[in-house]
Amino acid sequence: MSVLLEARNIGKSFGGVQALKDVSLAIAAGEIYGLIGPNGAGKTTFFNVLTGLYPKDGGEVIFNGAPLPLGSPHEVTRAGIARTFQNIRLFANMTALENVMVGRHARTKVGVGGAVLRFSRAREEEAAIRRRAGELLYYVGIADHARKLARNLPYGDQRRLEIARALATEPKLLALDEPAAGMNATETAELKTLIEGIRADGVTVLLIEHDVKLVMGLCDRVAVLDYGEKIAEDVADVVKRDPKVIEAYLGA
């Protein structure tokens, strides 16, 4: 298996708090990779550094054979990493369809001139954006909600919409930040099916999750963060029995 993403010695501190200490990990193309850890372990910070929202203090990330432009979120997205957010961040006053259409921004080109004059190329691109967005809504199972405002969608469907929007950017790696948070057992099971489907369609998945059962059932490999350090990385069954992991979760 080829390595899709390799993070080397990522460090990040906020004032005196060292949120990440030399975290290194490698994600293979086509796997579902889990990132777990107790509250405050640095999972979301790692996500934010990886997707360019936080400037890093040290280290580098090689993605798809090239250094990732850390510190610049839109360039990270263009390079092929899409993400969702722990606390859902949708464009609340846009329709579900429009939300996904925004996701096509990075992969489309029409500028002011094209938008105003609507040459045939601009019209075709706009139609393609709309078509693709519709397909993605169908793919995640919320096609019925296309015309509804994002803020009026049920919670679980908002999570799905965020995934559809992220997929619209044509990612090679989809990074999900606690996608099952707040979901009941049925919704979680459906989410699991969706994530497996996404992987089957060729997208590598990086998953932060609190729901240990979901992570263990879904992920090929799991890394565990504690106090900003990686304390374990292996297949789920091994990690589960690692004494350091048990200690981190249950306390000494």
- Find the shortest distance in angstroms from Cβ 77 to other proteins: 4
Q: How far apart are CA 240 and CA 220, in angstroms?
A: 13
Tell me, by CB under 8 A, how many residues bind other proteins: 44
Q: What residues does 15 pair with on adjacent strands?
A: none
Q: How far apart are CA 184 and CA 155, in angstroms?
A: 11
| 57-96 residues near other proteins, rule: CB under 8 A | 73-74, 77-78, 82-83, 85, 89-95
Q: Does 148 bind other proteins (CB under 8 A)?
A: yes
Q: Provide the angle, in degrees to the nearest 10, between the axes of the packed helices 120-140 and 96-103.
A: 120
- Find the shortest distance in angstroms from Cβ 117 to other proteins: 8
- Find the shortest distance in angstroms from Cβ 28 to other proteins: 24
| Selected binder of other proteins within 16, 65, 66, 112 (CB under 8 A) | 112
| Selected binder of other proteins within 23, 50, 56, 98 (CB under 8 A) | 98
Q: Cα-flanking dihedrals φ and ψ of residue 86, to 5°?
A: -60, -50
Q: How far apart are CA 53 and CA 108, in angstroms?
A: 22
| Selected binder of other proteins within 41, 49, 129, 224 (CB under 8 A) | 129
Q: Does 182 bind other proteins (CB under 8 A)?
A: no
- Find the shortest distance in angstroms from Cβ 212 to other proteins: 26
Strands (E), the chain: 3-14, 17-28, 32-36, 58-63, 66-67, 81-83, 173-177, 204-208, 221-226, 229-235
Q: Does 181 bind other proteins (CB under 8 A)?
A: no
Q: Which is nearer to other proteins, 8 or 107 (CB)?
A: 107
Contacts 24+ apart (CB under 8 A), 243-248: 248/37, 248/38, 248/41, 248/224
Q: How far apart are CA 73 and CA 53, in angstroms?
A: 6
| Selected binder of other proteins within 15, 65, 111, 202 (CB under 8 A) | 111
| Selected binder of other proteins within 22, 31, 60, 125 (CB under 8 A) | 125
Q: Does 11 bind other proteins (CB under 8 A)?
A: no
Q: Does 45 bind other proteins (CB under 8 A)?
A: no
Q: Which is nearer to other proteins, 113 or 217 (CB)?
A: 113
Cβ neighbours of residue 132 closer than 8 Å, sequence gap 6 or more: 100, 104, 168
What Å distances lie between residue 90 and 52, 84, 137, 140, 153, CA to CA?
A: 18, 9, 14, 15, 11
Residue 86 DSSP SS3: coil
What Å distances lie between residue 132 and 2, 169, 183, CA to CA?
A: 29, 11, 27
- Find the shortest distance in angstroms from Cβ 249 to other proteins: 30
Q: Does 120 bind other proteins (CB under 8 A)?
A: no
Which residues of this chain interact with other proteins, rule CB under 8 A? 51-53, 73-74, 77-78, 82-83, 85, 89-95, 98, 101-108, 110-112, 114-116, 118, 122, 125-126, 129, 147-149, 165-166, 168-169
